[in-house]
Amino acid sequence: MISQLVSAFGAVIAGVFLCALYYWLSDKLLQLVFPVRDGDGDVRVASRNLARRASVRPWLFLGPALLLLGIYLVYPVVATFILSFYDRSGTTFVGGANYAWAINDAQFRQAIFNNILWLAVVPAACTFFGLVIAVMTDRIWWGNIAKSLIFMPMAISFVGASVIWKFIYEYKGGKETQIGLLNAIVQFFGGDPQVWISMPFWNNFFLMAILIWIQTGFAMVILSAALRGIPEETVEAAVIDGANGWQIFWKIMVPQIWGTIAVVWTTITILVLKVFDIVLTMTNGQWNTMVLANLMFDWMFRGGGDSGRSAVIALVIMAAVTPIMIWNIRQANRQSEGH
Amino acid sequence: MTALASLRRIGLPRLVVHISVLVICILWLIPTFGILVTSFREPQQIIASGWWTAMTGSSQTTAVRMADGSAARQEGDRYVISGSVFEAGQAGRVQAFGTKVTAPSEYKVGEPADLGEGETLTVAEDGSYTYTKTAPFETGRGKRVYLTVSTPPAFTTQNYQAVLTSQGIGQSFVNSLTVAIPSTIIPILIAAFAAYALSWMEFPGRALILAMVVGLMVVPLQMSLIPLLKMYNDVGALFGLPSRSYAGVWLAHSAFGMPLAIYLLRNYISGLPKEIIESARVDGASDFEIFIKLILPLSFPALASFAIFQFLWTWNDLLVAMVFLGTGRDQLVLTGALNALLGSQGGKWEILTASAFVTIIVPIAVFFVLQRYLVRGLLSGSVKGG
């Protein structure tokens, strides 16, 4: 164990050293290839070399980053697209057979349906709770402590959160004492304990609760910052005009933070499309809880793996993300133009 | 005065807000608190009662046999058997007792119960009993008595000792550190150089690369898995190396974190004052020197923000580790180990809760200590609208 940690620290030092060495050496090499001498050299040569250095240097700086992005993100997107037209081992071209399979597969349709359900509930719930909590915590003296506590689940892994919630949903059969909080509450009010996570359709919502619990803090932090940025005059003016608190919130404040609400909504939407860990650990897709990311993972290894089918499923997730991606790029462009 | 401050005067009554926020906080904390308490309880108590009763102890109905007739002594005209319903070392308080299974808590403690046929039985709260009869006792098996016993709250660190050693969580903890630390630090320098180039250097294609980085931030990991797995297998076969290794995971995490890293750092570095960089250029410093001596130290807050994000993400990741490191017992990171335990030890909550707590303790500590940087990173990391 100790030797493993030592090798990890060794990797950190070696990695940082190698990176630094690359940047340093490449810079030195650049100066060697395009020399600029003080005083005695030809001024035109010197200025030409300076210009050349300036045109090459950005690519030296960007090189390692672009290499990583290219190998790990750009190339795989293209390769996955191509693989989706090939058979399970990726060797024989099968045309649209994998797509045809997907459309007719009951489990795939189930996953699409569940993903839509997640998309409809989780971003809306997180944004709504986040906004309400942000407004309330900004008005009390211990608001920052409260925010910290609500924000904390962000640091917990999805797997850890699943264990935490599985304990809440725990069911004991027969006459045993219910040790799951939810069933104990149900029993306290005279209801019958239920096996929550194997209750078709409704179990999806019990899984969603976990993600909402994790992500509300994120929405709250971002929206709280946006609320603080609202110019005071707009609210003052509304107060003078006799608006009540409710009207001020919905008609003055919310419209001014639409942009931020959209950002929060889309960020959580992307997260929801990729939701994997929670479903894997809670149900592994059983009892009609399958979602796309889990189905894709399943097909990657099921029966030795089927790269064609899982590529199709990955592409469906990608297609769902693409509109948001384009919107993000536009926003970023607009923002950098404003710089 | 902010807009919110002026709203304060006209909105909901202050008390309602205080109570609502308090309720929400409790609601948000209860799940985590539940496993924390459970992880310190004894296994028998965990299944006997809900964790919310941990402070009051649990009460259970049990049956024990009293000593048989051979232990009886004669006192006057009565025969007496006495002893304790508890075994040596067992703690608890008797709340009620009975002699019939249909009425296990028929009699109150401390009061003699008339069992008929000249028999009386007294059980005290501390478990000592006195069983008397006007005639001699039969020898053979002792009489069965049913007890309602409350056990005092008992906490233990046994569960932690068990999971850290026998359940392999200790090894997984080390594995998680091995994955997370290099994956956090290595991408920082690479991303910072790229961010500097994208902020302060003029070159054709800059806007395009920036757009690509923003786009790649949201590419689902799922798109990368199949081609990368194939590539790792091919590269492994080519050089005779194992296709699943820590080096592979470090590179994968570094690359997957790269778009966010470049974006965060570019936002920060491009906002640094122009004058500093230009005056350094006038003094004859090269871009390399400017970066090392000026930009890196000045961007510390942004570097810290990214480092926290990346650490939380790599520590909490399950998918990348499962695909690129494998699911063998020695290679499991904490999240993977916890997932495996859910399958193999489902229902053994003393193991699951203690393991879960070991898993989440590091990120929670990081979160509370470095929250400031995390929030700053979040605010500059999300593409601002409007």
pLDDT in tens, chain A (339 residues): 778 788 888 888 888 888 888 888 888 888 888 887 766 667 788 888 888 888 888 898 899 999 999 999 999 999 999 999 998 888 888 888 899 999 999 999 999 999 999 999 999 999 999 999 998 888 888 888 999 999 999 999 999 999 999 999 988 877 777 888 898 888 888 888 888 888 888 999 999 999 999 999 999 999 998 888 888 888 888 888 888 878 888 888 888 888 889 889 988 998 998 889 999 999 888 888 999 999 999 998 877 788 899 999 999 999 998 998 898 888 888 877 655
Q: Is B339 left (phi over 0), alpha (psi -120 to 50) or beta?
A: alpha
| In a domain? residue B7 | no
Q: How far is CA A295 from CA A107, A115, B93, B225, in A?
A: 8, 11, 53, 13
Q: B253 is written with which tokens? A: 């995490």
Q: B156 is written with which tokens? A: 């233990």
Q: Where are the alpha helices (DSSP H) in A40-105?
A: 43-69, 75-83, 97-104
Q: A223 is written with which tokens? A: 């929206």
Tell me, yes or no, whether B224 and B266 share the same domain.
Answer: yes
For residue B384, pLDDT over 50 is answered with: no
d(CA B149, CA B147): 6
Q: Report residue B88's pLDDT band, with 50, 70 and 90 as the boundaries.
A: low
Of B52, B174, B221, the CB nearest to A274: B221
CB-based contact B385 A259, cutoff 8 Å: yes
pLDDT in tens, B28-52: 999 999 999 988 888 888 887 888 8
d(CA A105, CA A298): 14
Tell me, yes or no, whether B120 and B184 share the same domain.
Answer: no
| In a domain? residue B2 | no
Tell me, yes or no, whether B245 and B203 share the same domain.
Answer: yes
CB-based contact B34 A181, cutoff 8 Å: yes
Q: Name the closest residue on chain A to residue B335, using Cα atoms.
A: A159
Instruction: Give the pLDDT confidence score for residue B381 in this predicted structure.
Output: 63
Q: Name the closest residue on chain B to residue A176, using Cα atoms.
A: B48
Give the A window 38-77 contacts with B, CB below 8 Å: 54-55, 57-59, 61-62, 64-66, 68-69, 71-77
Tell me, yes or no, whether B23 and B101 share the same domain.
Answer: no
The domain total for chain B is 3
Q: Name the closest residue on chain B to residue A274, using Cα atoms.
A: B220
Q: Report residue B57's pLDDT band, with 50, 70 and 90 as the boundaries.
A: low
Q: Does A99 touch chain B (CB under 8 A)?
A: no
d(CA A69, CA A63): 10
For residue B259, pLDDT over 80 is answered with: yes
Q: Which of A19, A72, A185, A260 should one mutate to test binding to chain B, selecting the residue with the greatest count of B CBs within 10 A?
A: A72
| In a domain? residue B6 | no
B37: containing domain: 13-54
Q: Which residues of B touch A59 (CB under 8 A)?
A: 203
Q: Does A241 touch chain B (CB under 8 A)?
A: no
CA–CA min distance B97, chain A (Å): 20
Q: Which residues of B touch A21 (CB under 8 A)?
A: none
pLDDT in tens, B149-183: 777 777 888 888 888 887 788 888 988 988 999 99
Q: Which residues of A touch B259 (CB under 8 A)?
A: 69, 73
Tell me, yes or no, whether B265 and B369 share the same domain.
Answer: yes
Domain boundary residue, one of B95, B125, B151: B151
Q: Name the closest residue on chain B to residue A242, using Cα atoms.
A: B10
Q: Report residue B346's pLDDT band, with 50, 70 and 90 as the boundaries.
A: confident
Mean pLDDT of B234-243: 83
| In a domain? residue B179 | yes
For residue B267, pLDDT over 50 is answered with: yes
Q: Report residue B99's pLDDT band, with 50, 70 and 90 as the boundaries.
A: confident
Per the model's pLDDT, the better-predicted residue between B282 and B378 turns out to be B282
Instruction: Give the pLDDT confidence score for residue A123 in this predicted structure.
Output: 95
Instruction: Give the pLDDT confidence score for residue A162 in this predicted structure.
Output: 92
CA–CA min distance A47, chain B (Å): 14
Tell me, yes or no, whether B133 and B253 share the same domain.
Answer: no
For residue B191, pLDDT over 90 is answered with: yes
Tell me, yes or no, whether B189 and B147 share the same domain.
Answer: no
d(CA B119, CA B130): 11
CA–CA min distance B222, chain A (Å): 6
Q: Report residue B8's pLDDT band, with 50, 70 and 90 as the boundaries.
A: low
CB-based contact A163 B355, cutoff 8 Å: yes
For residue B9, pLDDT over 70 is answered with: no
CA–CA min distance A111, chain B (Å): 15
Mean pLDDT of B357-370: 91
Domain boundary residue, one of B151, B182, B217: B151
Q: Which residues of A touch B339 (CB under 8 A)?
A: 159, 280-281
d(CA B283, CA B110): 94
| In a domain? residue B309 | yes
Q: Which of B179, B188, B198, B223 should one mutate to test binding to chain A, selecting the residue with the greatest count of A CBs within 10 A?
A: B223
Tell me, yes or no, whether B109 and B235 share the same domain.
Answer: no
Domain boundary residue, one of B120, B151, B182: B151
Q: Report residue B315's pLDDT band, with 50, 70 and 90 as the boundaries.
A: very high
Among A230-234, A311-315, B12-16, B127-131, top mean pLDDT goes to A311-315
Please classify residue B159 by burial: count the beta carbons closer than 10 Å to its beta carbon, then call 0-12 exposed, 13-18 middle and 19+ buried.
buried
Tell me, yes or no, whether B235 and B96 share the same domain.
Answer: no
Q: Please state whether beta strands B144-151 and B128-133 pair in parallel, antiparallel, or not at all (unpaired).
A: unpaired
CATH number of the domain located at residue range(s) A101-337 in this protein: 1.10.3720.10
At A178, the amino acid letter reads: Q
Q: Where are the alpha helices (DSSP H) in chain B?
A: 3-8, 14-39, 43-48, 158-165, 169-200, 206-216, 221-239, 246-269, 274-282, 287-290, 296-298, 300-316, 319-325, 334-344, 349-381
Q: A296 is written with which tokens? A: 């894709």
Instruction: Give the pLDDT confidence score for residue B385 in this predicted structure.
Output: 36
Q: Which of B216, B225, B221, B222 is nearest to B191 (CA)?
A: B216
Cβ pair B224, B156 in contact under 8 A: no
% of chain B surpassing 70 pLDDT: 93
pLDDT in tens, B366-378: 998 888 888 888 7
Mean pLDDT of B83-108: 78
Instruction: Give the pLDDT confidence score for residue B382 in this predicted structure.
Output: 58
Q: Does A91 touch chain B (CB under 8 A)?
A: no
Tell me, yes or no, whether B244 and B186 share the same domain.
Answer: yes
pLDDT in tens, B223-232: 888 899 889 8
Mean pLDDT of B68-79: 80
Of B7, B227, B378, the CB nearest to A248: B7
DSSP state of B385: P
Instruction: Give the pLDDT confidence score for residue B383 in this predicted structure.
Output: 45
d(CA A25, CA A16): 14
Q: A234 is written with which tokens? A: 């707009």
CA–CA min distance A53, chain B (Å): 10
Establish, for the pair of chains A and B, how many residue pairs have beta carbons separated by less than 8 Å.
Answer: 392
The CATH number of the domain holding residue B168 is 1.10.3720.10
d(CA B157, CA B353): 12
Instruction: Give the pLDDT confidence score for residue A12 in this predicted structure.
Output: 84
For residue B386, pLDDT over 50 is answered with: no
Tell me, yes or no, whether B227 and B373 share the same domain.
Answer: yes
Q: Which residues of B touch A62 (CB under 8 A)?
A: 193-194, 197-198, 209
Q: Report residue B17's pLDDT band, with 50, 70 and 90 as the boundaries.
A: confident
Q: Which residues of B touch A167 (CB under 8 A)?
A: 31, 34-35, 38, 349, 352-353
CB-based contact A61 B366, cutoff 8 Å: no
Instruction: Give the pLDDT confidence score for residue A160 in this predicted structure.
Output: 92
CB-based contact B216 A74, cutoff 8 Å: yes
Tell me, yes or no, whether B126 and B17 share the same domain.
Answer: no
Of A79, A149, A331, the CB nearest to B383: A331
Q: Name the closest residue on chain A to residue B378, using Cα atoms.
A: A222
| In a domain? residue B373 | yes
d(CA A135, CA A246): 12
